[in-house]
Amino acid sequence: MLNLSAENIQLNATAHSKQEAIQLVANGLISNGNVADGYQQAMLDRETQTSTFLGNGIAIPHGTLETRHLVQQTGVQIYQFPQGVDWEETSQGGQVTKEGESNKAYIVIGIAAKSDEHLGLLRQLTHILADEEIANTLAQTDNLTHFIDLLSGKKTEELPAISSELLSLDLDSISLLTLSAINASKLHERGYVQPSFLQNILANRPLALGDNLFLNDSTEGNLANGIAVARNKEGKTLITISATNYLFVHQLTPLFSLTTRQKITVSPAPQIIDLLSNTAENSTSANTPEQSNHSISRTFTIHNAHGLHARPSAVLVNEAKKYQATIKVQNLDKNSPLVNAKSLMKVVSLGATKGSILRFVAEGNDAEQALEGIEQAIAAGLGE
Indicate the range of 92-106, 202-216, 265-279 predicted with least confidence. 92-106
pLDDT tens, residue by residue, 246-258: 556 555 655 667 7
For residue 160, the model assigns a pLDDT of: 82
Please tell me the distance from the alpha carbon of residue 330 to that of residue 315, in angstroms, as a whole number: 17
Q: In which element (H, E) is residue 187 found?
A: helix 176-189
For residue 177, the model assigns a pLDDT of: 94
For residue 319, the model assigns a pLDDT of: 94
Please tell me the distance from the alpha carbon of residue 103 to that of residue 54, in angstroms, as a whole number: 9
Q: In which element (H, E) is residue 54 found?
A: strand 53-55
Higher pLDDT pick, 351 / 288:
351
Indicate the range of 32-46, 86-100, 309-323, 368-382 predicted with least confidence. 86-100
Q: Which of 281, 267, 217, 257 is nearest to 237 (CA)?
A: 267
Contact 369, 346 (CB under 8 A): no
Contact 251, 233 (CB under 8 A): no
Judged against a pLDDT cut of 70, whether residue 97 lies above it is answered with no
For residue 147, the model assigns a pLDDT of: 85
Judged against a pLDDT cut of 50, whether residue 273 lies above it is answered with yes
Judged against a pLDDT cut of 60, whether residue 315 lies above it is answered with yes
Judged against a pLDDT cut of 90, whether residue 329 lies above it is answered with yes
Higher pLDDT pick, 314 / 161:
161
For residue 93, the model assigns a pLDDT of: 41
For residue 282, the model assigns a pLDDT of: 45
pLDDT band at 285 (very low <50, low <70, confident <90, very high): very low
3-state secondary structure of 127: helix
- Give me the residues paired with residue 240 across strands: 216, 228
- Report, as an integer, the average pLDDT of 229-237: 95
Q: What is the CA angle 106-111-113, rounded to 5? A: 165
Known catalytic residues? Answer: 62, 309
Is the pTM higher than 0.75?
A: no
* Alpha-carbon distances, residue 58 vs 61, 86, 87, 216 (angstroms): 10, 11, 10, 35
Higher pLDDT pick, 184 / 60:
184
Q: Which of 341, 345, 339 is nearest to 310 (CA)?
A: 345
Q: Using H for helix, E for strand and C for coil, what is the string for 276-342?
A: HHHHHHHHHHCCECCECCCCEEEEEECCCCCCCCHHHHHHHHHHHCCCCCEEEEEEHHHCCCCEECC
Contact 59, 108 (CB under 8 A): yes
| Radius of gyration (C-alpha) of the chain in whole angstroms | 25
- Which residue segments constitute the domains of the chain, with CATH numbers given? 6-88+103-152 (3.40.930.10), 164-278 (3.40.930.10), 295-380 (3.30.1340.10)
Judged against a pLDDT cut of 90, whether residue 378 lies above it is answered with yes
For residue 129, the model assigns a pLDDT of: 59
For residue 278, the model assigns a pLDDT of: 59
Contact 182, 165 (CB under 8 A): no
Q: What φ, ψ does residue 213 adopt, rounded to 5°? A: -115, 135
- Report, as an integer, the average pLDDT of 94-119: 68
What type of residue sits at position 305?
A: A
Higher pLDDT pick, 289 / 364:
364
Higher pLDDT pick, 300 / 121:
300
For residue 334, the model assigns a pLDDT of: 77
Judged against a pLDDT cut of 70, whether residue 202 lies above it is answered with yes
Q: Can you state the percent helix, strand and coil of the chain, rounding each to 5?
A: 40, 25, 35
Judged against a pLDDT cut of 90, whether residue 43 lies above it is answered with yes
The whole-angstrom distance between residue 186's C-alpha and the CA centroid of its chain comes to 12
Give all strands of the β-sheet with 339-340 in edge-to-edge order: 296-301, 357-363, 326-331, 339-340
pLDDT tens, residue by residue, 107-145: 999 988 876 565 556 556 655 655 676 788 888 888 888
